[in-house]
Amino acid sequence: ADAVCILVVTGRGRWPDLRRRSAAASVVAVVFLIGLAGGSSRADAAPAAADSASDDARILAAALETRLGYILTGDRETDARSQAGLAGLSRVLSARTAFAPAAPFGLDPETDALVFYPLIYWPMVAGQKPLSDGALAKIDRYMKNGGTILFDTRDQLTRFNSYRGNAGAVSGPGQQTLRQILGALDVPPLMPVPPEHVITKSFYLLQGFPGRYVGGQLWIEAAAAETGDNVNSERVSGLIVGSADWAAAWAIDEAGRPALPLEPGGARQRELAFRVGVNFVMYALTGNYKADQVHVPTLLERLGQ
């Protein structure tokens, strides 16, 4: 409910139009209930009905409670780290902001709907299985209609300088996987995050974006002024690209304690990593709302007159 209020107050209806989302959630709920009622009279289809009901329940939960998502890579250790990382970040969001996300969901882009998630974390894994054309089209639609994917190469070996390939570039395994994925998508031009970009002040004031690692470059969609596309002047970037291994920094164990060490380490680095995560989520939810606040003094002055 808090997330919905954020979207309504900002008037930006992110990921995608809020009214369409609410209507879709209602339709899903009705279909789900009808499916349960009808399934009880067909004993011969009980196993299939049970699987369908389970899928419908997951869709309903995603539609009715805002949560973060992460892409399932097929690597158990990586997927467990993503789950623990987003659980830790969700706990911090609940404690420090008006947004209290439900438990994060792991997503298979081949079968799962992406539209319900304002921010999806996607860690790069070497040798990741190629996606089908249908899954790639779904990811394209998600990013072009208000969703944001955080691509994390997790290697931080070199600067991310050419996702389409550069014969002279030395890259880690995560960057190689990233190039393959982004090369198959309709990705707009990217640029390093400017020092005064809204993502640096969407909740906390940031001067960097540390995760498990410190340093490295963060990339987003190029500004409208640089691309000449005025249509996207208010658009939140559909993708954020970095290499800091954020999920590892956010990860907590069952007791709520940090699960993994940082490099170089320290409580301050972990705190900053959580602040980075909060800013990512607030940016995905509220868009350029923080940037608009620079006009508040002028508006108040005019009201006083």
Q: Tokens at residue 227, please? A: 């691309």
**Average pLDDT score over residue span 176-193:** 93
Picking from 37-46, 137-146, 147-156, 197-206, which range would have the lowest pLDDT averaged per residue? 37-46
- Summarised one tens digit per residue, pLDDT across range 251-285 is 999 888 999 999 998 999 999 999 999 999 999 99
Picking from 5-14, 148-157, 196-205, 215-224, which range would have the lowest pLDDT averaged per residue? 5-14
Q: Tell me the β-bridge partners of 191.
A: 220
- Summarised one tens digit per residue, pLDDT across range 27-76 is 444 344 334 344 444 445 555 555 666 677 878 888 889 999 999 999 99
Q: Tokens at residue 106, please? A: 């792991």
Q: Which residue has the higher pLDDT, 60 or 101?
A: 101
Picking from 7-11, 106-110, 202-206, which range would have the lowest pLDDT averaged per residue? 7-11
For the chain, which residues make up each domain, given as ranges?
A: 2-299
Q: Tokens at residue 253, please? A: 């164990």
At 134, the pLDDT band (50, 70, 90 cuts) reads very high
- Summarised one tens digit per residue, pLDDT across range 197-215 is 999 999 999 999 999 999 8
Q: To which CATH superfamily is domain 2-299 assigned?
A: Domain of unknown function DUF4159 (3.40.50.12140)
Q: Which residue has the higher pLDDT, 63 or 157?
A: 63
Contact 176, 126 (CB under 8 A): yes
CA torsion, points 250, 140, 71, 28, in degrees to nearest 10?
A: 100
State the pLDDT at residue 46: 54
Q: What 3-state DSSP class applies to 160?
A: coil
CA dist 48 and 34 (Å) reads 15
CA dist 233 and 239 (Å) reads 15
**Average pLDDT score over residue span 78-89:** 98
CA dist 200 and 168 (Å) reads 31
